[in-house]
Structure 1
Amino acid sequence: MLKLICSDVDGTLVPDGGHDLNPEYFTQIRHLKKNGILFAAVSGRSYSSLKKLFAPVIDDILFICDNGARTIYHGNLLSCYTIRRELAMEIVREIEALPGCTTYISAVKDGYVKEGADELYRWLTEGYQLDIKKLKRMPEDLPANDGILSVEMYHPTRAEEIAHQGLYQKWHGHKELQLVCAGKQWMNFTPINADKGIALSEFQNRYGITPGETMAFGDNMNDASMLLRADQSYAIGNARKEIKSLTRFVADTNINDGVLQVLRTVKTNIQ
């Protein structure tokens, strides 16, 4: 029996950086909850963005945020993992030295970009609807009292390609970090004990939910660990080929509300 449905957000429910979710999702989420099936938003976004996107059902769903670094359920913080400050600052300095690249830092209290990163700031605040502060010096002006959940390398079109010119080789496999591609614009550094799959597994274990009782949807490499913990795994139609080869099923694209199409089928099955 299905108990948990998990979905990535950007590239899966909405285009990257989108903030308009088909209102029928909220209807489906409420119907699923009435029938004992919990919906989880599992995203690289921070909670400040997700709580706005899912405002009509904020009390009805599970939030796995910041690529698994933070999990929130019924307003309660279930887990929170951070990157050591000195390590994060070293990564930021290396990102800022790369041509055409800049950094977004997701922290417990706020998100941060440097002054002058106007394109990125607009996208984060207007598209993702994140709460962002600008720093005159990056990373030197990062508040010492704000825990760092993730460090994200941004390039408008070639983040993964540029990262593989040396940055990825240096940091991949680091004992304190995970490094994964989250779209053509993003390479994400997160704590070693925090990814979408780990966070999902912790929740499953805590509430006695098995992979056989779990469905999941994703499109990019940072979704892989989550998809492996759901027997009913779906790549979205616009997903990377590596993700399509990993999952049992392929749904329609995000533009065509591929996840919603499957949720309607689940609704029919439980009526």
Structure 2
Amino acid sequence: MIPPPGARPAPTPPDRLPEGVDLRLAVTDMDGTLLDGRGRVPADLGETVTRMRERGVLFAPASGRQLGNLRRVLGPLADDALLIAENGAYAVLGDRQIHDDVLGRDAAARVIGTVRELAGAGSDVGAVLACKHMARIERRDAPFVEQAATYYAQLEIVDDLLAAPLDDVLKVAVYDFDDAESGSAPPLTGALPDLQVVVSGRHWIDIMSARTSKGRALAAAQAHLGIAPAQTAVFGDYLNDLELYDRAELSFAMANAHPRVLARARYIAPANDEGGVTRTLRALLERMG
């Protein structure tokens, strides 16, 4: 469980950050990290990204969200950013694709069947079939559609997910109206041992190819851009962010992060409700060589 606000660790003071930082890439998760608890973009994000651009630092949101959703939420700030979407299954720089990991037709069909079995056994779950340019759902009740629409800007309701195109499926996202980590994640993991089942939020689970991760997408982007882990900062709060920390020496967990994320990161940023990402980025920019 995420520690309550009163039990949060203290953020790393700015004077404890390294001097002479050679920062070229700043990667941030969205929900629980960059966005506040109401899903709002920090008021000073535009100013911060402008300062980053002036110093040659690339802004890189890395999220379980759909690419179209990232562009909708971030507006013009997404135009020349590195966008890592669908938990690392898809990454673009501007309009150019630089990385993808496709789940595959057979695997996608097995996941859909497994989610249907869980629902039939009484779990309050639903699946989102996430493709490169469209997400599809077959569950039609308003509460589920509302949750899916929050994270998928291009969303289509179909009668049968198994009858939809499955060739470019990046992942299947599962929404669990109960607690995902203790509820549907264990049976999904047991039923799909050859796939990656990642708890990406309190109610969300992403099921992907075994090789897919935000960290793998970040590695591909670093190779494409010629940027080293020593020149990379990452910010995250949940389990789907863990692989990012293998690719950055400036690794920050939000003060509100899952305990496993707090244990992995080198530094702690203020909580998402305290503007932790932008506050820390400004401190890093001030300490650049």
TM-score if structure 2 supplies the norm length? 0.86
Which letter maps to 1:90?
A: R
Distance 1:152 1:64, change over 3 A: same
Provide runs of 4+ in structure 1 moved above 4 Å: none
2: distance between equivalents of 1:194 and 1:164? Answer: 17
1:243 aligns with 2:264: no
Matched, 1:119 2:137: no
Shift of 1:270: 4.2
Report Cα offsets for 1:32-57 as digits up to 9, x if no partner. Answer: 01111111001111111001112122
2:175 pairs, out of 154, 163, 166, with: 154
Residue 11 (structure 1) aligned with residue 32 (structure 2): yes
| SS across alignment from 1:79 | strand
Q: Which structure 2 residues correspond to residues 212-227 of structure 1 after superposition, within 5 A?
A: 212-227=230-245
Select 2:52's aligned residue among 29, 32, 38. Answer: 32
Alignment of 1:134 onto 2:152: no
**Offset at residue 234 of structure 1 (A):** 0.5
Distance 1:247 1:110 in 2: 34
2:140 match: secondary structure? coil
1:169 matched residue in structure 2 = 190
CA contact (8 A) 1:12 1:259 kept: yes
Superposed, 1:55-134 pairs within 5 Å as 55-98=75-118, 99-125=123-149, 127-128=150-151, 130-134=153-157
Deviations 1:99-133 (A, max 9, x none): 111111111221111142421211232x3352211
SS across alignment from 1:161? coil
Structure 1 unaligned regions, length at least 5:
none
- In the alignment, the residues of structure 2 paired with residue 151 and residue 17 of structure 1 have an alpha-carbon distance, to the nearest angstrom, of 25
Corresponding letter in the other structure for 1:2 = L
Residue 273 of structure 2: SS of its match in structure 1? coil
TM-aligned CA distance change 1:89 to 1:171, over 3 Å:
same
Offset of residue 232 of structure 1: 0.7
- Residue aligning to 1:185: 203
Distance in 1 (CA, whole Å) between partners of 2:139 and 2:189 is: 26
Q: Which residue of 1 aligns with 2:13?
A: none
Structure 1 residue matching 2:163: 3-state secondary structure: coil
Equivalenced residue count is 264
User: What secondary structure is seen at the aligned counterpart in 2 of 1:159?
Assistant: coil
Identity of aligned residues (%): 26
Indicate the structure with greater helix content. Answer: 2
Q: Which residue of 2 aligns with 1:230?
A: 248
Structure 2: distance between partners of 1:228 and 1:81: 19
* Coordinate RMSD, CA, aligned: 1.8
Per the alignment, do residues 118 and 258 of structure 1 end up closer, same or farther by CA in structure 2, a change over 3 Å counting?
A: same
TM-score between the two structures when normalised by the length of structure 1 = 0.91
* Paired residues of 1:28 and 1:267 also in contact (CA < 8 A): no
Tell me how far 1:15 sits from its aligned partner.
Answer: 4.6
**Distance in 2 of aligned mates of 1:193 and 1:140:** 23
Residues 219, 235 of structure 1: 8 Å contact kept: yes
Task: Tell me, yes or no, if the aligned pair for 2:36 and 2:275 is still in contact at 8 Å.
Answer: no
Which structure exhibits the higher relative contact order, with contacts defined as CA atoms closer than 8 Å and separated by 6 or more residues? 2
Q: Please give the per-residue CA displacement for 1:149-202, whole angstroms capped at 9, x wherever unaligned.
A: 110111123122123442212324x1xx32211011111111233210001011
Aligned to 1:265: 283
Q: Distance in 2 between matches of 1:182 and 1:17?
A: 17
Letter in 1 for 2:128: Y
Check conservation: 2:25, 2:231, Cα contact below 8 A. yes
Q: Which runs of 5+ in 2 are unaligned?
A: 1-21
CA distance in 1, matches of 2:45, 2:81: 12
